[in-house]
Amino acid sequence: MKLWTRLFLARRMRSQHLVAQRTAHVIDRVMFDIGAQRMLQGTMLLDRRLRPRFCGGRPTTVRKPLAAVPLAGLAGAAGPDAAEGVQSACTDLLLESVLREFRRQSPRFQSLP
């Protein structure tokens, strides 16, 4: 029974570190898929299960997310480049800015260890 439960239930984010890892993965993946310039036109969301998600424009979800961070106005959003080293540095700056906004907007995320 435990095996079925693990397979079908979504993983819960249990710490800020896990959310940060997943957010970095989402940022890298989106930057690779659609490019840095188009990514900056979108929004990073933190849903009720504390999962980071990317929305290509304004969020139009029925349920209100815990946090919604428009990427265009963040500190790490200035001048991303396609070079690998610059992309990594840009990802790190963007990640720090997004996590800072998640903490500011969501008391539930802030209370995680």
pLDDT band, residue 52 (cuts 50/70/90): very high
For residue 41, how many other CB atoms are within 10 A of its CB?
Answer: 13
pLDDT at residue 83 greater than cutoff 60 = no
More confident residue, 40 or 84: 40
Q: What is the pTM of this model?
A: 0.76
The CA distance from 103 to 109, in Å, is 6
The total of structural domains in the chain comes to 1
What tokens does 27 get?
């940022």
Read off the pLDDT of residues 18-40 as tens digits, 9 standing for 90 and up. 999 999 999 999 988 888 888 88
Q: Which domain holds residue 89?
A: 2-110
